[in-house]
């Protein structure tokens, strides 16, 4: 509810192919009214800048942030954000044990999912 948290990502699930265990540090941070996305991208791009662009590595203001408690105490969070090269729709589910799943839909790229763990600030 604080809108101030981080999710450390440990696995990526591209739409095509197998799940990818991540060995580097990736995360999504929500702070006040902004998202700080440091996520890898694996998948098909439809329209991107020359050289590949930034993908899911961006900081942007959050639009239309909603949070609702689902079954079994899971928090369901939805919001949109826009970077200079794409528009993103995030759907985050945070379970009662702190594990999380993230689905990201984009206009110019194929959607992708991630799983990780919730980290709350001190």
Calculate ∠ Cα 5-102-40, nearest 5°: 95
Contact predicate 62/72, CB 8 Å? no
Residue 10 is predicted with a pLDDT of 95
Residue 102 is predicted with a pLDDT of 96
pLDDT band at 99 (very low <50, low <70, confident <90, very high): very high
Residue 70 is predicted with a pLDDT of 83
pLDDT digit string, tens, across residues 65-95:
899 998 788 999 999 999 888 899 999 999 9
pLDDT digit string, tens, across residues 106-120:
988 899 999 999 988
Contact predicate 45/32, CB 8 Å? no
How many domains is the chain partitioned into structurally?
1
Residue 50 is predicted with a pLDDT of 67
- The structure's pTM equals 0.87
pLDDT digit string, tens, across residues 20-58:
999 889 999 998 889 999 998 888 877 766 666 677 889
Note down the domain range covering 109: 4-119
Residue 85 is predicted with a pLDDT of 82
pLDDT of 9 over the 90 cut: yes
CATH number at residue 27: 2.40.128.410
């Amino acid at each position: 509810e604080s809108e101030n948290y981080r999710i450390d990502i440990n696995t990526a699930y591209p739409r095509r192919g197998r799940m990818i265990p991540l060995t580097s540090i990736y995360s999504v941070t929500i702070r006040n009214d902004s998202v700080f996305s440091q996520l890898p991208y694996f998948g098909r791009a439809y329209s991107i800048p020359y050289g590949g662009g930034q993908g899911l590595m961006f900081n942007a203001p959050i639009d239309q942030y909603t949070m609702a408690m689902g079954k079994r105490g899971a928090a369901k969070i939805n919001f949109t954000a826009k970077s200079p090269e794409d528009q993103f729709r995030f759907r985050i589910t945070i379970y009662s044990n702190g594990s999380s799943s993230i689905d990201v839909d984009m206009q110019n790229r194929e959607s992708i999912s991630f799983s990780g763990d919730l980290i709350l600030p001190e």
